[in-house]
Amino acid sequence: MEKRTLLMLLAPLALLAALCAGMALGLRAIFEGGMPLVDGESFVEGRIERVVDSYTSAFILEDAQGVVLVDAGMDPAAATLTAALARRGYQPSDVRAIVFTHGHGDHIGGAGAFPQAELFALEAEVELVEGRRVAGNLLGMVREPSPTGLQITRALEDGQALQLGGLELEIFAMPGHSLGSAALLCQGVLFIGDAAASMADGQLAGPPPVFSADRDAGMASLQALAARLKPRADEIEWIVPSHQGALEGPDALLAWTQE
């Protein structure tokens, strides 16, 4: 009996230890050998800027009509993001839309700081963004669905060209890292979220193992994206993952096309 009680006490601790070990391995897989993250990394003559929030990124996209964000970082107060916006002369209320690469907490966490913004995500990601479903990865195992307070204005479809003022974002479904992960192409910049990772040697790796719902599907998505964009390779000036620095040109993606 005593032994059983002890086991019942130890089992959750063992599970927790296994989770921690898994996450540590996952984090290592994300950051080891990755292209370093650089705050303020900019594209399209400075009109697109990366804002680093801890180990993740949000992106400011500026046009004549104001600002759109790709992702919102993880800080609920969006402190670094609002500071970067302020340096460009914008208030949080000037952000008219946020397009999410996916619904993980480190990409949507700051969105509540921009209550006026319209929110966009792929249809398959809406429940995750709104907190009606948990992530299909290791972290999801220890969580219950809980409302994020965010409401998607309009669900997006694969292949759609989303027009936001003067900005057009082309949407590509990348199921794998999460069910509704997306890559977004805007003015030669391919925002790839966590659907791929850039390595310091210039290669593009697949989505991180531990934090992805279905890594094999994620690899297949990357191959499919490479095949789709191959005929338009000259349009791709930058490949921009959320947790590592950008890769210049289309080659790292084209390496994923099969013979």
Q: Binding residues for Zn ion, per CB under 5 A?
A: 104, 194
Question: Whose Cβ is closer to Zn ion: residue 208's or residue 250's?
Answer: 208
Least separation in angstroms between residue 64's CB and Zn ion is 32
Which token pair is 94? 């000037």
How many alpha carbons lie under 13 Å from residue 211 in its C-beta half-sphere? 24
Question: Whose Cβ is closer to Zn ion: residue 207's or residue 250's?
Answer: 207
Instruction: Say which residues have a Cβ less than 8 Å from residue 206's Cβ, sequence separation at least 6.
Output: 176, 196, 197, 215, 218, 219, 222
Question: Whose Cβ is closer to Zn ion: residue 82's or residue 101's?
Answer: 101
Question: Whose Cβ is closer to Zn ion: residue 50's or residue 104's?
Answer: 104
Question: Whose Cβ is closer to Zn ion: residue 174's or residue 189's?
Answer: 174
Question: Whose Cβ is closer to Zn ion: residue 10's or residue 24's?
Answer: 24
Least separation in angstroms between residue 104's CB and Zn ion is 4
Least separation in angstroms between residue 128's CB and Zn ion is 10
Q: Are 168 and 213 in contact (CB under 8 A)?
A: no
φ, ψ for residue 122, nearest 5 deg: -60, 145
DSSP 95-118: EEEEE-S---HHHHTTGGG-TTSE
Q: Are 180 and 122 in contact (CB under 8 A)?
A: yes
Question: Whose Cβ is closer to Zn ion: residue 75's or residue 194's?
Answer: 194
Least separation in angstroms between residue 207's CB and Zn ion is 8
CA 77/CA 104 separation, integer angstroms? 17
Which token pair is 8? 């019942």
Least separation in angstroms between residue 136's CB and Zn ion is 11
DSSP 4-72: HHHHHHHHHHHHHHHHHHHHHHHHHHHHTTBPPP-TT-EETTTTEEEEEETTEEEEEEEETTEEEEE--
Least separation in angstroms between residue 141's CB and Zn ion is 15
CA 53/CA 73 separation, integer angstroms? 6
Least separation in angstroms between residue 251's CB and Zn ion is 24
